[in-house]
Structure 1
Amino acid sequence: MLAKAPEPETPAENDGRKRSKELLAYIFSEILPRHGMVLRDNQLSLSLTMLDALWENKLALCEAEVGTGKTHAYILAAIVYRLFKGSIRPTVISTSTIALQKALTEEYIPQISTVLLEHRIINRPLTFAIRKGKSHYACDDRVRNYLSSIRHNNRRSDGTLMETLTALFSGGCPIDLDGLPLTDYVKGRICVNHCHFHCDLSAVCRYRDFLRKTQTMAYDFQIANHNLVLADILSQKGGRNRLLPQSGILIFDEAHKLLDAARQMYGMTFDAAELEQLVSSAYRSVSGISNRKEASLLCGELLRLNSLLFDVIRHEAGVHYDKGCQAFDFTTGSIRILNALAAALGRLSVCFYLPRAGNAHKRLLNRMEQEQAKLSVLLDSSESICWLEYTGVSTYRLCTLPKALDFLLYEDIWNQETPCVLTSATLSIGGDFSHFMHQTGIDLLEQRRLLTVSKASPFDYENHALLYLPEDMPFPDRKNGAYLTAVLERLTELIRQSHGHTLVLFTSYRMMELVYQELLRPQAVAYPLFCMGKGRLETIDSFRKSGNGVLLASDSAGEGIDLPGDILSSLVVVRLPFPTPDPVSEYERTLHDDFYSYLSERIVPDMLIKLRQWIGRGIRRETDTCVFSILDSRAAGRYKNDILAALPDMPVTDRIDDVGRFLLSHKDESYFDA
């Protein structure tokens, strides 16, 4: 449903709005300080702006830099609005990281609930549910079957596992698998898979009960990741059952990651192995149908056509990109193969259609329908960006993304009747939201329905930070040995000046590995050295406990980690985080008149927003102090003014000795003794 123009407020609504703002201001200025929370004018102003947007049914873009307190701001704005509006619909909070979900459910919401109950602003505790994909939940039937199988094996080493599974099956622990001490393999064996609610435990199924409860108004907050929220929107759009209940308020925290999630959810992938697995399942089921001979022939034909399709596309695909993908456009030959595949799959589904089909046949037919839908998308791909992606040494998948993704987001989310709040520390460049708005389709919204606000960090960067931009670094080229040598020498000196306490961020895994191997050499660095691979959380925890370590990490560590205190006192950016070329960015380049407009309107803004995210890791509390170094010659040259305008105001130097002097004047003696 398209959003209607907001109706004029009635006197009662106007009075309710006024009183809600007074209550919100009272909570921040009087109640929270009694519980150890300092009044921040920026935080109160931000929360009041969010509340205004809810009353006016507007979309609010709320940039709140590190330390502003945006989480308290939107939770309290939502609570107060619901109190005065009388709404029983839940507030859906969409996030990008598990860490934020844990903080919301273990810290923020319980804390706010306790405070508001104590002051009688609410008359019952706030309730919430964490919503995840079904693979995160235990299936009672699969737990029972797996428990039976390992009991039969009677291995002593399975004792702890059996205790956990027994508690899980008997209801001694929740069905959320993320908090249980189980391997990924075990979770894969017992999680909800193809649940159609027809097993012999369906009457007492806890997963089914959980879903039923979450579709009611039983919870004040429902917390999910961006992908699940978008999946719910697409499910409703496609006429299927909703995954989430109708929300009264939709809040996107970590909104700078929303576009990445949208590209995943609105995009489509057709894996070379998908059809092979489907055919394998069909082969195993042919004995149960009457025309099994035709079905067997069609299975063979599907395998042949599937292999031929990927052979032809690999031959026709164009430019190779660093991300292991190639752009391509369908030709007459590949379209002919797609049509043949679709026809053969259609005939195979007819073979398996039975008036009284069992559950196994129904699931197989459903999979066939899903593959037919994907083939239809590929056949009608003129309005999509297409590319071939390499998923292994000899495995591939076709990927498509609608060219008009911005319009689809506008149509499906922004131009609806549910008020939205989008918040992040990095949504704008110098207070200009146009780049983010253009990418996400928010710029298509009528201006009267849009509200923007940007709140600067309350942290004292002028006195607590230093930006080091060396002017003598070679151009960043990892194929140039002189560049690698210069990075190693400068990085080693920075680590020495800061006595460890360093996070080094890379845009390239290869470069990170090269530097790591060099720093492992005897006498290279005198501090504990860590390199963040797959065990991300464990590595960060080890770095934190080291006291004065050096952590080398990829760009993923530039977002979402919290390392307050002295452990992170020097943050080094090896190379400016420009986006890596790929088929999507190549298509976007064609929308610009020339390369320079593409560079200034797309590439540089993307880089600056990511750089702001990275720099935001350095100072996390009012008392933190940090040196920021960028070892990319372009930071001191071509893009210096852009970078200085985008980052918080702080002193800038090109002299490395200033790094040591700054830390010596800002750190206690214990810092240097660690």
Structure 2
Amino acid sequence: MNKLPLKEQAHGEIERIFRILLPQNGLAVREEQITLCHAMLDTLLKNNIALCDAGVGIGKTYAYLTACILLKKFAPHGPAGSQPVVVSTSSVALQDAIIGEYIPFLSRIFLENRIIQKPIRAMVRKGKERFVCDIRLSRRLEAVEDKKKNAQQMKALLSLRTYYDLDSVTGLSGFDRRQVCVPKVCEKTCPLRNACRYHQYLKEARSAEIFVQICNHNYLLADAAHRLQELRPLLNDYRALVIDEAHKLPDAARQMYGQSLSAEDFRELCDLLAKEKQFLAAQRLKEKFATLLGAMCRGELLEEAQRTVFILTPDREAALRDCLSLLRQLQKQLAPHLPRWLLHRLGTTEQALGLFFTGDRRYILYIQYDRDGSPSLCAASREMPEQLRRALWLKDIPAILTSGTLMAGGSFERTKKVMGLSVNQRLEDFIAVSPFNYEKNCLLYIPGDLPKARMGSEMEAKCLAGQICRLVEATHGHTLVL
């Protein structure tokens, strides 16, 4: 019997996994990767929070997945023993790689060498609008049955009988997607409520057999918001959190803790009222919203999306006052006749417009214009670090934040400040420097003939694409473009 303490046993397995097992399966292993995995496992076992800056090519995904699996093996007891770990990423590509490549590979290696007794199971968690509603799909197929429809779009629509994840289907029109996706609120009277594929997916996701729950940063923050409001969580209660591509978390937080209202949002609200037979209310609100958008509108085609600081001009003030007055009036008058979720939607719209009417100093207020010159009212929270702290870091749960760009100027201070981690007794940081010799193997190239172009514009993209093509030709195709 092994008499070593569990922690030492767990760290001993890291050496065996990375030095013996992975090389046997054709995977190159670096000393930095082993050290990183030790640091990550320590963080999980100590219930700490770690900022791990890991350079390109080290293999941080293998490191944190191995650390999580060893946590499950060597710390299986207590109330959290059966709980999953959550891995949050910024990109769909990384989610697909984790569930399709990394986890199956590690699960096979660990099973073959009797490190674990059961395969590691994982699921990708995302918002309901990314899945097919079976009853809405059947209605949509009936509606287009005798109509001439684009062949590719029709093929995509029919394929949804087999695939319930909308992201796995190509060629689906935006209109069809909106018609067949799971609605924001499922009707309790739906005849397929207990049999539809979306609810079966939710049932499977909540199973104790799923050890790794994979989501994006927005979904993670939405789950945290539900918990703070004592609503039903989106994710299962989890015992550890890994945030990969952590440098993107602040961007997701700005979206989550900010507010925005577009013409599409206003149109949807009016349509929802009309579906509840409140036609007069929908029409009155539609007119007020149209006046408000008119006061914001640029009314011109733009080279690219633009944003400007929101200024409360007299015509905007009057339009906002009218919208707010009508929204308050409708909430009182229609309270007995509307479902609670729709009354809540009216209230949140009123609240968001109120930020612009009062010039709330807790927010940075601006107007975002798309290429058609259509406006969206946007409010970015100034309190994002504190909101992140309350949402994620006050929990008694270990967390690993990792990326290749968490440091700035050789310091984590900027990251700590933005993410609400400046004052945290559980915080550790770790640096795994990339073994790649940049000075010896890299050449910095700055083209001298680029025309002046606005950052992010179509013109800039074309210029950069041309330069990339020239570099690919110069290197005879031996090129990786990120």
TM range (shorter): 0.7 to 0.9
Equivalent residue number for residue 183 of structure 1: 172
Aligned CA distance change for structure 1 residues 165 and 386 (closer, same or farther; 3 Å)? closer
Contact 1:407–1:444, Cα closer than 8 Å, also in 2 = no
Secondary structure at the counterpart of residue 269 of structure 1: strand
Equivalent residue number for residue 134 of structure 1: 128
Cα offset, 1:268, TM superposition: 0.3
- In the aligned structure 2, how far is the partner of 1:342 from the partner of 1:224? 36
Equivalent residue number for residue 279 of structure 1: 270
* One-letter amino acid matched to 1:306: F
Equivalent residue number for residue 217 of structure 1: 208
Aligned residues: 471
- In the aligned structure 2, how far is the partner of 1:347 from the partner of 1:468? 62
Contact 1:53–1:59, Cα closer than 8 Å, also in 2 = yes
Cα offset, 1:468, TM superposition: 4.5
Aligned alpha-carbon RMSD (Å): 3.6
* One-letter amino acid matched to 1:99: A
Is the deviation greater in 455-464 or in 101-110?
455-464
- In the aligned structure 1, how far is the partner of 2:423 from the partner of 2:24? 44
Contact 1:64–1:424, Cα closer than 8 Å, also in 2 = yes
Equivalent residue number for residue 574 of structure 1: none
Secondary structure at the counterpart of residue 145 of structure 2: helix
- In the aligned structure 2, how far is the partner of 1:210 from the partner of 1:411? 30
Equivalent residue number for residue 244 of structure 1: 235
Task: Provide TM-score, normalisation by structure 1.
Answer: 0.63
Alignment of 1:471-482 (within 5 A): 473=448, 478=452
Does residue 430 of structure 2 align to residue 439 of structure 1?
no
Equivalent residue number for residue 141 of structure 2: 147
Alignment of 1:80-99 (within 5 A): 80-86=70-76, 87-99=81-93
Does residue 350 of structure 2 align to residue 372 of structure 1?
yes
Task: Provide TM-score, normalisation by structure 2.
Answer: 0.85
Contact 2:304–2:457, Cα closer than 8 Å, also in 1 = no
Is the deviation greater in 269-278 or in 192-201?
269-278
Alignment of 1:510-529 (within 5 A): 510-513=459-462, 529=469
- In the aligned structure 2, how far is the partner of 1:509 from the partner of 1:479? 9
Equivalent residue number for residue 66 of structure 2: 76
Alignment of 1:81-480 (within 5 A): 81-86=71-76, 87-153=81-147, 161=154, 168-169=160-161, 173-185=162-174, 186-198=176-188, 199-279=190-270, 281-282=272-273, 285-286=276-277, 296=280, 302-303=285-286, 305-310=288-293, 324-328=306-310, 330=312, 338-354=320-336, 364-378=342-356, 381-429=360-408, 431-446=410-425, 449-468=426-445, 473=448, 478=452
Contact 1:410–1:445, Cα closer than 8 Å, also in 2 = no
Does residue 48 of structure 2 align to residue 48 of structure 1?
no
* One-letter amino acid matched to 2:22: L
Cα offset, 1:220, TM superposition: 0.8
Contact 1:410–1:444, Cα closer than 8 Å, also in 2 = no
- In the aligned structure 2, how far is the partner of 1:194 from the partner of 1:118? 44
Contact 1:415–1:445, Cα closer than 8 Å, also in 2 = no
- In the aligned structure 1, how far is the partner of 2:304 from the partner of 2:137? 42
Contact 1:47–1:77, Cα closer than 8 Å, also in 2 = yes
Gaps of 5+ in 1: 1-12, 288-294, 481-505, 520-524, 531-542, 551-564, 572-616, 618-674
Cα offset, 1:91, TM superposition: 1.0
Cα offset, 1:149, TM superposition: 2.7
Cα offset, 1:143, TM superposition: 1.6
- In the aligned structure 2, how far is the partner of 1:300 from the partner of 1:179? 38
Cα offset, 1:95, TM superposition: 0.8
Aligned CA distance change for structure 1 residues 329 and 383 (closer, same or farther; 3 Å)? farther
Secondary structure at the counterpart of residue 243 of structure 1: coil
- In the aligned structure 2, how far is the partner of 1:458 from the partner of 1:128? 31
Cα offset, 1:165, TM superposition: 5.4
Contact 2:304–2:458, Cα closer than 8 Å, also in 1 = no
- In the aligned structure 2, how far is the partner of 1:549 from the partner of 1:145? 52
- In the aligned structure 1, how far is the partner of 2:133 from the partner of 2:276? 25
Is the deviation greater in 212-221 or in 272-281?
272-281
- In the aligned structure 1, how far is the partner of 2:67 from the partner of 2:296? 52
- In the aligned structure 2, how far is the partner of 1:85 from the partner of 1:193? 40
- In the aligned structure 2, how far is the partner of 1:194 from the partner of 1:404? 28
Equivalent residue number for residue 26 of structure 1: 16
- In the aligned structure 1, how far is the partner of 2:27 from the partner of 2:263? 55
Secondary structure at the counterpart of residue 331 of structure 2: helix
Aligned CA distance change for structure 1 residues 220 and 273 (closer, same or farther; 3 Å)? closer
Secondary structure at the counterpart of residue 336 of structure 2: coil
Equivalent residue number for residue 590 of structure 1: none
Equivalent residue number for residue 36 of structure 1: 26
Aligned CA distance change for structure 1 residues 104 and 300 (closer, same or farther; 3 Å)? closer
Aligned CA distance change for structure 1 residues 341 and 69 (closer, same or farther; 3 Å)? same
Cα offset, 1:67, TM superposition: 1.0
- In the aligned structure 1, how far is the partner of 2:457 from the partner of 2:318? 40
Does residue 464 of structure 2 align to residue 567 of structure 1?
no
* One-letter amino acid matched to 2:169: L
Aligned CA distance change for structure 1 residues 354 and 424 (closer, same or farther; 3 Å)? same
Aligned CA distance change for structure 1 residues 459 and 442 (closer, same or farther; 3 Å)? same
* One-letter amino acid matched to 2:91: T
Cα offset, 1:29, TM superposition: 1.7
Contact 2:153–2:172, Cα closer than 8 Å, also in 1 = no
Cα offset, 1:168, TM superposition: 4.2
Is the deviation greater in 247-256 or in 434-443?
434-443
Contact 1:50–1:421, Cα closer than 8 Å, also in 2 = yes
- Between structure 1 and structure 2, the one with the greater Rg is 1
Contact 2:226–2:234, Cα closer than 8 Å, also in 1 = yes
Cα offset, 1:44, TM superposition: 0.5
Alignment of 1:658-669 (within 5 A): none
* One-letter amino acid matched to 1:176: D
Aligned CA distance change for structure 1 residues 549 and 145 (closer, same or farther; 3 Å)? farther
Contact 1:138–1:207, Cα closer than 8 Å, also in 2 = yes
